[in-house]
Chains A and B, each alone.
Chain A
Amino acid sequence: MSQTLNIQNLHASVDGNEILKGLTLEVPKGEVHAIMGPNGSGKSTLSKVLAGHEDYEVSEGTVTMDGVDLLELEIDERSRAGLFLAFQYPHEIPGVTNANFLRAALQARLPKGEEIDAVAFYKDMYAQMDSLSMDRKFTGRAVNDGFSGGEKKRNEILQMMMLDPSYAILDETDSGLDIDALKIVAEGVNRMRSPERGFLVITHYQRLLDYIVPDVVHVLFDGQIIKTGGKELALELEEKGYDWVTQELAPA
């Protein structure tokens, strides 16, 4: 079975408007792929479609994860199957503590009747929080409630660490981060890099890729990947700007 996240000719629309227009992309385990693109190119739509958001309708194409048809699965089933989406705008869940939230997410992965080992859970969570320089008081705070932008993004990475996915999609994780927070988040991601895991890093800016160095860079424009290259493509894009994409790379 192929160990990849394989997206073939994906067409997806929201409110009747087609946003993804035949996107093809393959992320093998062990690699970090970056997707860059101007506003409106379909970056966030791709992450939402992969996670299974119900507002987005897939009209054509396939997505498989290690051979499993992802589009046939419910949102929560996709997560339990090993897909993780770090949200661009993580939601606030008042009254639900971070610890209880993570516990429920891990519990959902266990067979019925099996209980999570609370001691091991807290030990693991504290260790991961320490590595992200997160204060332990965040375990008792409501999920993202009153968190700063940087705290929310760190919380996303904490969830990723705890859930240990096979494929992680980072949707503009750099937005709203100052340079220190960006470094901490990037270090967290880099520690997670492994031959057993694939990453899809979606970003508008090249800056993040200084810290999370990708194996492959894709340029997304108008719902299609129009150029693929190595990490140097990100630098070229940064230098020439997105006008270069629209004027020279875009298919006429």
Chain B
Amino acid sequence: MAQENPVSWFAAPPVFDLGLELPDWYRQLQESSWQKFLTTPEPARTDESWRFADLKKVRFSELQAARPAENVEALIQRAKTERVDDFAAHFVFANNRLVHSEINELPEGAVCLPINEALVEHGDLVKQHFMQEEGSLGGDKFSALHAAATLSGLFIHFPKGATCELPILTHHFASGDFNCVFPHTLVIAEDNADVSVVDTFETATNDEQTIFFANVDLVATNGANLQYVALQDESDHGPKHVQLNSSRVGRDARIKSAFVNLGAEWIRQESIARMMEQGSDCQIFSANLANGVQEYDQRTLQSHEAQHTTSDLLFKNALYDQSRTIFAGLIEVKPGSHHTDSYQTCRNLLGSNEAEANAMPGLEIDADQVKCSHGSTSGQISDEEIFYLQARGIDAEAARQMISLGFLNESIARLKGEAVQTYLFERVERKFRSLRSA
């Protein structure tokens, strides 16, 4: 089949032998997904869900499943030096392979395992929740590819009542030109459980054309609290990063997710949040700092599917040089989902006349007594704000940086956990420093 398709990105399915007896259902899913990947057309200009996108970025060829990374010890060391201070567990993956794990403390009954091992040991649970999202915001081909590939990443299961204050951390490293990694994060928080997860995506070195095809499944049932953070801090030229996120929120449960993008030449992040039962709440934040010719393309859906559900989205982009951002967000209130309360805001801070911020907010409401608002703004740092900081002795350049950092920090500050906030804030600050010294 692959040979018959001239636009296939891979000569063969991106799979390799893990030495594990993977369940039949999963092997079948991999095979059918590969066929689906081959037959799904590449994103096209006529496709509304790819409006404004630079499609040249997704004309792939000669990609390959990543071979084992070199200098793994150095990567592990880096991950350990630069991680959230306090954590429950830490897993490091390099080129799709688990290279390091440590568990400090997990609540009783909680499971935190590499996804491939979970396929063997907790096959039924994985099958029930793995890539169940059937809707798409344009990334069908990516999702089929991900399901067809050998994965890395974590399966996290917090059973009823299991809570942990500290986050579970993973680092995903990629290295080597045209090497692809397929990180998957599956988090299941059952009734009244409380779990926090931080994924960090990095490249081993600069200038390598690695590609991340990531996928995140988040599930929270009755009264559970789930927080998920993705920090994409890859090299800022070369890597591409695709990430498809699904959140399914049950009765009186809450999922908070945040996407912080600093690196990569091009990213595409799609997030579908489904508020499925009464009292479901979803909060989605993003803080992105783009410079050079980086292009950050984010598409979201907040789907309200029951009465008395709430959601809030706040995306912030700070743009420099010739960078571009695209935000397309839809709030959908399904028939009968009365008393929905939903917000969506995208704010862009333009640090250059050549930067381009595109925003396409949208609303579709099919219920009564609904409170929905959406909006997007783009602007530059006001001279009066700079004047105010300068009048306190801070030089103009530092003032600009403080204001931009504060602008992005507004969405980071909505997250739970001071150590997590600090971790993200410091990474954003580090990129600002690199902009300043450039």
Shortest C-beta distance, B316 to chain A (Å), equals 9
Chain A 75-90, CB within 8 Å of chain B: the 1/0 string?
A: 1101110000101001
Q: Which of B137-186 contact A (CB under 8 A)?
A: none
B406–A87 CB distance below 8 A:
no
Known A76-B390, A96-B402; judge A91-B409 contact (CB<8 A). no
Known A54-B383, A76-B396, A108-B398; judge A94-B407 contact (CB<8 A). yes
B392–A101 CB distance below 8 A:
yes
Q: Is A6 an interface residue (CB 8 A)?
A: no
Q: Which residue of A lies closest to B411 (CB)?
A: A95
A91–B388 CB distance below 8 A:
yes
Shortest C-beta distance, B277 to chain A (Å), equals 33
Shortest C-beta distance, B405 to chain A (Å), equals 7
Cα(A105)–Cα(B402), bound, Å: 11
Cα(A131)–Cα(B373), bound, Å: 42
A75–B391 CB distance below 8 A:
yes
Q: Which of B380-438 contact A (CB under 8 A)?
A: 383-385, 387-396, 398-399, 402-403, 405-410, 413
Q: Which residues of A contact B395 (CB under 8 A)?
A: 74, 76, 108
Shortest C-beta distance, B398 to chain A (Å), equals 7
Q: Which residues of A contact B408 (CB under 8 A)?
A: 95
Q: Which of B387, B393, B398: most chain A Cβ within 10 A?
A: B393
Cα(A93)–Cα(B409), bound, Å: 11
Cα(A192)–Cα(B182), bound, Å: 62
Known A93-B385, A94-B410; judge A79-B392 contact (CB<8 A). yes
Q: Which residues of B contact A87 (CB under 8 A)?
A: 388, 391
Shortest C-beta distance, B437 to chain A (Å), equals 15
Classify chain B's interface size.
20 to 34
Q: Which residues of B contact A53 (CB under 8 A)?
A: 387
B403–A96 CB distance below 8 A:
yes
Partner pick for A105 among B385, B393, B410, CB 8 A cutoff: B393
Chain A contact residues, majority secondary structure: mixed
Known A76-B395, A108-B398; judge A95-B406 contact (CB<8 A). yes
Q: Is A163 an interface residue (CB 8 A)?
A: yes
Q: Which of A146-188 contact B (CB under 8 A)?
A: 159, 163
Q: Which residues of A contact B388 (CB under 8 A)?
A: 87, 90-91, 93
Q: Which residue of A lies closest to B395 (CB)?
A: A76
Chain B 196-234, CB within 8 Å of chain A: the 1/0 string?
A: 000000000000000000000000000000000000000
Cα(A252)–Cα(B406), bound, Å: 52
Q: Is A25 an interface residue (CB 8 A)?
A: no
Q: Which residues of B contact A95 (CB under 8 A)?
A: 405-410, 413
Partner pick for A109 among B387, B393, B396, B413, CB 8 A cutoff: B393
Cα(A87)–Cα(B384), bound, Å: 11
B403–A93 CB distance below 8 A:
yes
Q: Is A51 an interface residue (CB 8 A)?
A: yes
Q: Is A226 an interface residue (CB 8 A)?
A: no
Known A91-B384, A93-B385, A95-B413; judge A79-B406 contact (CB<8 A). no
A79–B393 CB distance below 8 A:
yes
Q: Which residues of B contact A51 (CB under 8 A)?
A: 387, 391
Q: Which residues of B contact A249 (CB under 8 A)?
A: none
Q: Which of B383, B384, B389, B409: most chain A Cβ within 10 A?
A: B389
Q: Which residues of B contact A109 (CB under 8 A)?
A: 393
Q: Which residues of A contact B392 (CB under 8 A)?
A: 76, 79, 101, 105, 108, 159, 163
Q: Is A104 an interface residue (CB 8 A)?
A: yes
Cα(A52)–Cα(B396), bound, Å: 13
B393–A93 CB distance below 8 A:
no
Shortest C-beta distance, B317 to chain A (Å), equals 14
Q: Which residue of A lies closest to B413 (CB)?
A: A95
Cα(A78)–Cα(B393), bound, Å: 7
Cα(A93)–Cα(B389), bound, Å: 9
Shortest C-beta distance, A46 to chain B (Å), equals 14
A104–B394 CB distance below 8 A:
yes
Q: Is A142 an interface residue (CB 8 A)?
A: yes
Shortest C-beta distance, B47 to chain A (Å), equals 35
Q: Which of B384, B394, B396, B409: most chain A Cβ within 10 A?
A: B394
Interface, chain A (partner B; CB < 8 A):
51-54, 74-76, 78-80, 85, 87, 90-91, 93-96, 100-101, 104-105, 108-109, 142, 159, 163
9 extra interface residue pairs, beta carbon distance < 8 Å, beyond A74-B396, A76-B399, A95-B409: A52-B391, A76-B392, A85-B391, A93-B388, A94-B407, A94-B410, A95-B406, A96-B409, A163-B393
Question: Can you spell out 26 A-B residue pairs with CB atoms less than 8 angstroms apart?
Answer: A51-B391, A52-B390, A53-B387, A74-B390, A74-B396, A75-B390, A76-B393, A76-B394, A76-B396, A76-B399, A79-B390, A87-B388, A87-B391, A93-B385, A93-B388, A93-B403, A95-B406, A95-B407, A95-B410, A95-B413, A104-B394, A105-B394, A108-B394, A109-B393, A163-B392, A163-B393
Per CB-CB distance, the 9 closest pairs between chain A and chain B, nearest first, are A95-B406, A96-B406, A79-B393, A75-B390, A91-B388, A95-B409, A95-B410, A105-B392, A76-B390
